[in-house]
Structure 1
Amino acid sequence: MKKILLVTVMFFGFVTNAQSVDEILSTYYENIGGVENLKKITGVKMTASVNQQGMEIPLEIYQLSDGKQMTIINFQGKEIKQGVFDGETLWGHNFMTMKAEKSDAEATENMKLNMNDFPDSFIDYKKKGYKVEFLGKETIDGAETFKIKLTKEPVTVDGKKEDDVSYYFFDTENYVPIAIQTEIKSGQAKGMISQVIMSDYQEVDGLYFPFSMTQGIKGQPGGQPITITKIELSPKVDAAAFLFPEEKK
């Protein structure tokens, strides 16, 4: 009898958890404009500025439905491209030499894994083979949130496969994400938790997007505030803008 009761409790616990996740995501999509409307857009262009030690630096951020993406930094009259991906090659300008440099094979292959995540990683997450778990409630910057764990396809770090895990925090009042936390896998900050705080959701052509974001390390002061001034949906972008510029001989 005890065994049957235990199995029953475990089963209903699993069902409740699954329903909670899907209900949260369903309300989220309903509140920001609907899944079907999100799926219709072919890209997003964000005009923004980042505050770097008191200096406002203009940015243009592109994300397209076919996986192409790039960030254009306008600094001291120079156009610097970072995180440029054309679907096959990942590259960016070296800040010191101003020359375009390709990323290594490992970073490029990891980038390819994200090609089916536009405009949102949670859309059709089951078809993608992702795992989503509801971990309860947690307070972030004074706001009560639903904490959701997203596990995607494993990434390669220093030749080894590692789980690609992020934690999303959905505001319990409006059901929109106000924070994302991810463990840093490599570099000097390896092992630390990167954190993006999002706020100031505004309507753009019937859909809602955060217009303020701060990127930093969890538990550490500071961070880089990014203020978005304009968002364009399904922008027309020349595919050549994403291509790696081969040096002329």
Structure 2
Amino acid sequence: MGDSGLAAYVLHHHDWSESSQILDTFTRARGRIIIVAKGAKRPGSQLRSVLLPFQRLNLVLVRGRRAEVRDIETLRSADWAGGPVLPGRHLLSAYYLNELLTRLVPLHEPAPALFDAYAATLAHLCALAPDAAAGPALRAFEITNLDALGWLPQLDQDTARQAPLGADTAWRLHPQLGLTPATDPAQGLPAALWQALQRARGHLPHLQAVCGAAGPGLRQQLQGVLQYHLGHALRSRQVMQGVHAAISAATPSS
């Protein structure tokens, strides 16, 4: 007995044997699930050209019949379900999305809205102009991810007082305390921005637009919350910072 046409993306994979792989997948109906792809590494396997990251798939799974493997699901078949090719300039951004999901989202908890946001963010990255920044799309997905996990407070009110944000105060997003007045205005963001983010929650294109107008301060606020829940920085984030640093060093100053 298995799933028929389970919409999914491959987030990560590692070798299981000389011919098989373990896949960490994100499915719309069942959330993150770990499956075995037997024979996926064989030269003649149909799966080799299908089990690619950032491509939407339809998976059919089966469970083992023996008692010792009854809880392990095996990939019976995988079909490509469409999706544009991600430009190389945004590959690191897409891997960052995958790492967020694998590190933050628990197994076996359906999150269809987050799945749809992931698919839409990949499509957005594919459609970006060559000179356009991926930052607003990443910030919008970070907010959506935190929201889906229940780690984001109401963004238009003082969390402790449950009162509207003061317009003359800068506000900081604290991992445990929610929105609090920033003792140093440079470490917070204006109330109007937080209120705009609250209005845009659940509407990804609108959220991306608000994030695009927010500037680098929003990234710092969200990274503080993410690192609190992750425990340390993501590897893809460190790689992106290294690449940006290398580009800056190689660019002649005017």
TM-score range, shorter-chain basis?
under 0.3
**TM-score normalised per structure 1:** 0.22
Structure with more relative contact order (C-alpha pairs < 8 Å, separation 6 or more): 1
Structure number with higher strand proportion = 1
- Normalized per residue, the structure richer in helix is 2
